[in-house]
C-alpha cells in the first residue's frame, strides 16, 4: 500500500474521470437491482390478486406492463452507464500508462553509466512492458471492478436491510470468513506474483543477450547449450506460474462455496419466515424473491473479488518494481556546486593529483598532468592500466575519488553536465550504431540543443503532442565528417549511399567501418575536446595514417586525447604518456620517449620488428610464387598468363 501512494500524483491528474466514473458505477449498480424490485411488486401484486388476502392489494394488467417496462428501462440505463464507465476509467488508465511510460523513459535517460553497468536490458524491457501493463490493468479494469463490487454491496445491503434485517444478519454470518480467506490468499498471491515477474525478467534478459550476441553464440556453436539453459529458465518460470495458479484457484473456489452457503441460509431461513415460523418477521413471496434475486446479483461481484484481489496484488507488486526504477538516482548530476553561468569550454584539461577507486580497487593513483587547449595527448600502456577511465573522468562518466579534474582551470564538477558533454565527443572502443541510416548515425550528436527537457508528471490531456520528428541530417557536415574518417568512398559504394540502413534491418558494417562511422559521428559534432579511445584498432595502419592526417587538419584548436597501442598512432601527438597500473610511468614527445629507452621505446622496437617480419614474410611469399611460376614455364618459352602469376 505504501508503494501505491506514489501512484497518487498520476491518479490525481485524472481525478475528474475517476470521480465521474465511480458515480456512473454506483448508478449502474443501483439500476441493475431495480428489475428485482419490480419483480417483487409484480409477484406480490399477483399473489394478492390470486389469494384475495386483504393484506395484499392485487394488481392490474396495466401495472404489470408498467413494472415490466420499468425493469427493461433499468437494464438499459445500467448498460448505458457501463459504457460511460469504460469511456472514463479505462481511458484514464491508458492515459496514465502513457504518462508513466513517458516519465520512466525520461528518468532512465537521466541515469548514469553506474546504473546501466549493473542493469540488464531484458529486465528493463520487461518492466517497461509487462509490469506497466499490470499497473494499467490495476488502475483501469481493477479499480472499475473494485468500485463496482463496493457499489453492488452497498446497494444490495440497502435492499437486504429494507426487506428483512433478520435475514440480512443471517447472511452476514459468512462475511468474516470471506474477508479472512481473502486476506490470507492475497498475501500469498503478491509474493508468488513477484517471483513470476522476476523470472520473466531473467528470461527476457537471457533472450535479449542471446539475440544481441547471436554472432558469438553461433561462432562458438553453443546454440544447444544456450537452448538448454533457456529451457531450464523457462521451466522455472512455469513452476513459479503454476505455484501462483495454485493460490488463485482456491480463491475463486472458496468465494463460490461461501456464496452457495449464503444462498442456503436465505432459502431455509427465508422459507421459514414466509411460512410464519419466525415470530414477528413476516415475509411476502415477492420480498423473498427480491432478496434471492439481489443475492444472486451479488454472486458475480463476490466471485470477482478473487480476480480483483489478484489484479490489485499484481498491479501493486509491478508498481513496486517500476518504483525501483524511479527511486534510482544518478550518482553524477548537477548539484549545488554547478555554476550555471558556464556556457562553453575552450578545452584545456588538467588532472591534479587524481586518484580513482572502484569497489576498493585503485585504478588511478595520483595522476597529475596538464594538456593545453588545442594540443593532442597520446596515451598508451598495457590493457587495464587506466587509459579509458582517464577519458571517462573528462566527460564525468565517473568522478574522481580524490584530486581534481579541471577543464579551462574549472573543476569539472562545477561545469553543467550538459555544457561539458556537449563539448566533448568520445569515440569508444566498442562503438554502438543505431538501426538507422548511415547519415543519421553520423549526424546523431547534432541538433541536441533544439530539444527542451521533457516535462514529467503532466497529464497527457494537457501536454501537447510533440511535433513530428522530421529532422534531416545536415548532409554537408555528414559528408565532411565521413571524408575525414576515411569512410566516404566506401559509403558511396553502398547501394543507397548515406541512406543505407544499418543494423537489424540493413547492412552489416565491418569492424573498421563501424569504428570509422563512430569517428565520423564525433568529428561531425566539432567538439572542443575529442577522446579517441583505441578508436582505430580495427583499421589497417595505412588507412589509420590517412585518417590521422585528415584529423590533424580539423583538430586545429581542439584538444585530443588519443588512446592507442600503436606507436604509428601516437607519434604525432604533442605529448605522450605511458600508463601502468593507474600511474604515469613515462611522458614526453615521441622523440623524448624513444631517447628514454623505456616502455615506449620497447613498444616501438617490437612494432618495427613485427612490421619487418611481416614484410619479410610477404617478400618470401612473392619469391615462392615466382619460383613456382618459373618452374611452370613451358620449354617453348610461351609466356605465362597473368592470372597464373597472380595465383
Ligand X SMILES: Nc1ncnc2c1ncn2[C@@H]1O[C@H](COP(=O)(O)OP(=O)(O)OP(=O)(O)O)[C@@H](O)[C@H]1O
Distance CA 588, CA 595 (A): 10
Residue 262, all three cell numbers: 449464503
Residue number, 419 or 576, with CB nearest to ligand X: 576
Q: Using CB under 6 A, which of the segments 20-28, 240-248, 386-394, 503-511 binds ligand X?
A: 386-394
Cβ distance 587 to 578 under 8 Å? yes
Instruction: Select the residue interacting with ligand X from 341, 383, 553, 641 (CB under 6 A).
Output: 383
Binding track over 426-465 against ligand X, x by CB under 6 A: ---x------------------------------------
For residue 435, give the C-alpha cell: 538501426
237-246: Cβ within 8 A, 24+ apart: 237/196, 237/199, 237/200, 237/203, 240/192, 240/195, 240/196, 240/199, 241/196, 243/192, 243/195, 244/189, 244/192, 244/193, 244/195, 244/196
Residue numbers 414-433 binding ligand X by CB under 6 A: 429
CB of 397 to ligand X, least distance (A): 9
Q: Does 117 bind ligand X (CB under 6 A)?
A: yes
- Grid cell at residue 357: 577507486
Stretch binding ligand X (CB under 6 A), from 198-206, 269-277, 355-363, 412-420: 355-363
CA gap 566, 564 in Å, rounded:
6
* 3-state secondary structure labels for all residues of 193-241: HHHHHHHHHHHHHHHHHHHHCHHHHHHCCCHHHHHHHHHHHHHHHHHHH
Can you read off the three cell numbers belonging to residue 141? 479494469
Q: Does 386 bind ligand X (CB under 6 A)?
A: yes
- We find the least distance from the C-beta atom of residue 361 to ligand X, in angstroms, to be 7
Check binding of 389 to ligand X (CB under 6 A): yes
Residues 504-543 touching ligand X, rule: CB under 6 A, are 534
CB of 426 to ligand X, least distance (A): 12
State the cell numbers at 292.
Answer: 434471492
- Minimum distance from residue 577 beta carbon to ligand X (Å): 12
CB of 388: closest distance to ligand X in angstroms?
3
Buried b (16+ CB within 10 A) or exposed e, 477-512: bbbbbbbbbbbbebbeebeeebebbbeeebeebeeb
- Kindly state the smallest distance separating residue 20's Cβ from ligand X, in Å: 51
User: Quick one: which of 165, 358, 432, 434 contacts ligand X (CB under 6 A)?
Assistant: 358
CB of 532 to ligand X, least distance (A): 12
State which residue, 119 or 150, has the beta carbon closest to ligand X.
119
Query: Binder to ligand X among 388, 440, 545, 587 (CB under 6 A)?
Result: 388
Residue with cell 601516437: 570
Cα gap 501→448, rounded to integer Å: 22
Closest approach, Cβ 522 to ligand X, in A, equals 17
Sheet containing 529-533: order of strands: 424-427, 529-533, 559-563, 376-380, 575-580, 583-588
Whole-number minimum distance, CB 331 to ligand X, in Å?
11
* Count of residues of this chain found to bind ligand X when the rule CB under 6 A is applied: 14
In the list 385, 395, 515, 559, the residue contacting ligand X (rule: CB under 6 A) is 385
Query: Applying CB under 6 A, which of residues 40, 107, 127, 387 lies at the interface with ligand X?
Result: 387
Separation between Cα atoms, residue 435 and residue 444, nearest integer Å: 12
* Cα dihedral: 548, 552, 558, 561 (round 10): 30
Could you say which of 79, 384, 611, 639 contacts ligand X (CB under 6 A)?
384
Among the candidate windows 192-200, 284-292, 300-308, 383-391, which touches ligand X by CB under 6 A?
383-391
How are the residues of the chain apportioned to helix, strand and coil, as percentages rounded to the nearest 5?
Answer: 65, 10, 25
Q: Are strands 376-380 and 424-427 parallel, antiparallel or unpaired?
A: unpaired
Tell me which of 171, 363, 412, 577 binds ligand X, using CB under 6 A: 363
CB-nearer residue toward ligand X: 190 or 388: 388
Which of these segments, 70-78, 380-388, 524-532, 543-551, binds ligand X (CB under 6 A)?
A: 380-388
Q: Among residues 485, 576, 577, which one has the least CA distance to residue 539?
A: 485
Per CB under 6 A, which region of 170-178, 379-387, 473-481, 620-628 contacts ligand X? Answer: 379-387
Q: How far is the CB of 365 from ligand X (least distance, A)?
A: 12
Q: Which is nearer to ligand X, 399 or 499 (CB)?
A: 399
| Helix, strand or coil, per DSSP, at residue 473 | coil
Which residues of this chain interact with ligand X, rule CB under 6 A? 117, 358-359, 363, 381, 383-389, 429, 534
Amino acid at each position: 500500500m505504501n508503494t501505491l501512494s506514489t501512484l497518487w500524483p498520476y491518479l490525481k491528474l485524472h481525478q475528474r474521470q475517476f470521480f465521474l466514473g465511480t458515480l456512473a458505477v454506483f448508478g449502474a449498480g443501483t439500476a441493475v437491482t431495480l428489475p428485482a424490485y419490480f419483480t417483487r411488486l409484480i409477484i406480490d401484486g399477483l399473489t394478492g390478486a390470486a389469494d384475495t388476502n386483504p393484506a395484499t392489494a392485487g394488481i392490474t394488467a396495466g401495472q404489470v406492463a408498467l413494472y415490466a417496462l420499468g425493469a427493461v428501462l433499468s437494464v438499459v440505463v445500467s448498460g448505458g452507464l457501463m459504457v460511460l464507465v469504460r469511456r472514463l476509467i479505462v481511458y484514464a488508465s491508458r492515459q496514465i500508462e502513457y504518462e508513466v511510460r513517458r516519465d520512466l523513459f525520461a528518468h532512465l535517460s537521466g541515469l548514469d553509466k553506474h546504473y546501466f553497468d549493473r542493469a540488464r536490458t531484458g529486465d528493463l524491457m520487461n518492466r517497461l512492458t509487462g509490469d506497466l501493463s499490470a499497473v494499467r490493468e490495476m488502475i483501469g479494469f481493477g479499480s472499475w471492478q473494485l468500485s463496482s463490487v463496493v457499489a453492488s454491496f452497498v446497494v444490495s445491503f440497502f435492499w437486504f436491510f429494507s426487506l428483512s434485517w433478520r435475514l440480512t444478519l443471517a447472511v452476514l454470518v459468512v462475511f468474516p470468513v470471506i474477508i479472512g480467506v481473502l486476506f490470507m490468499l492475497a498475501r500469498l498471491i503478491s509474493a508468488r506474483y513477484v517471483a513470476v515477474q522476476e523470472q520473466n525478467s531473467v528470461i527476457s534478459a537471457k533472450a535479449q543477450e542471446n539475440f544481441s550476441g547471436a554472432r558469438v553464440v553461433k561462432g562458438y556453436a553453443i546454440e544447444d547449450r544456450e537452448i538448454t539453459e533457456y529451457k531450464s529458465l523457462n521451466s522455472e518460470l512455469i513452476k513459479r506460474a503454476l505455484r501462483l495458479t495454485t493460490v488463485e484457484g482456491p480463491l475463486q473456489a472458496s468465494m463460490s462455496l461461501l456464496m452457495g452457503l449464503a444462498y442456503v441460509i436465505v432459502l431455509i431461513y427465508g422459507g421459514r419466515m414466509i411460512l410464519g415460523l419466525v415470530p414477528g418477521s413476516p415475509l411476502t413471496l415477492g420480498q423473498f424473491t427480491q432478496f434471492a434475486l439481489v443475492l444472486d446479483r451479488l454472486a458475480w461481484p463476490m466471485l470477482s473479488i478473487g480476480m480483483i484481489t489478484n489484479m490489485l496484488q499484481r498491479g501493486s507488486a509491478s508498481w513496486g518494481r517500476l518504483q525501483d526504477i524511479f527511486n534510482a538516482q544518478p550518482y553524477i548530476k548537477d548539484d549545488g556546486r554547478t555554476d550555471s553561468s558556464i556556457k562553453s569550454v575552450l578545452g584545456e584539461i588538467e588532472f591534479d593529483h587524481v586518484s580513482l577507486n572502484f569497489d576498493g580497487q585503485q585504478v588511478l593513483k595520483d595522476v597529475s598532468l596538464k594538456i593545453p587547449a588545442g594540443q593532442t595527448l597520446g596515451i598508451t600502456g598495457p590493457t587495464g592500466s587506466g587509459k579509458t577511465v582517464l577519458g571517462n573522468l573528462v566527460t564525468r562518466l565517473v568522478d574522481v575519488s580524490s584530486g581534481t579534474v579541471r577543464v579551462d582551470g574549472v573543476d569539472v564538477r562545477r561545469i553543467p553536465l550538459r555544457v561539458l558533454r556537449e563539448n566533448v565527443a568520445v569515440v569508444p572502443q566498442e562503438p554502438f550504431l543505431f538501426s538507422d541510416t548511415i547519415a543519421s548515425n553520423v549526424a546523431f550528436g547534432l541538433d541536441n540543443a533544439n530539444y527542451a527537457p521533457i516535462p514529467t508528471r503532466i497529464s497527457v490531456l494537457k501536454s501537447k503532442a510533440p511535433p513530428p520528428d522530421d529532422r534531416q541530417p545536415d548532409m554537408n557536415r555528414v559528408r565532411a565528417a565521413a571524408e575525414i574518417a576515411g569512410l566516404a568512398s566506401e559509403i558511396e559504394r553502398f547501394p543507397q549511399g548515406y541512406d543505407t540502413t544499418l543494423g537489424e534491418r540493413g547492412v552489416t558494417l565491418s569492424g573498421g567501418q563501424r569504428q570509422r562511422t563512430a569517428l565520423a559521428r564525433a568529428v561531425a559534432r566539432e567538439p572542443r575536446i575529442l577522446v579517441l579511445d583505441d578508436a582505430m584498432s580495427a583499421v589497417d595502419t595505412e588507412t589509420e595514417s590517412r585518417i590521422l592526417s585528415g584529423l590533424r587538419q580539423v583538430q586545429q584548436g581542439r584538444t585530443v586525447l588519443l588512446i592507442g597501442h600503436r606507436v604509428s598512432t601516437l607519434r604525432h601527438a604533442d605529448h605522450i604518456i605511458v600508463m601502468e597500473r593507474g600511474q604515469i610511468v613515462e611522458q614526453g614527445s615521441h622523440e623524448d620517449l624513444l631517447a628514454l629507452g623505456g616502455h615506449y621505446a620497447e613498444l616501438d622496437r617490437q612494432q618495427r620488428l613485427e612490421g619487418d617480419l611481416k614484410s619479410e614474410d610477404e617478400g618470401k611469399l612473392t619469391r615462392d610464387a615466382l619460383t613456382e611460376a618459373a618452374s611452370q614455364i613451358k620449354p617453348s618459352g610461351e609466356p605465362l598468363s597473368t592470372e597464373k602469376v597472380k595465383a
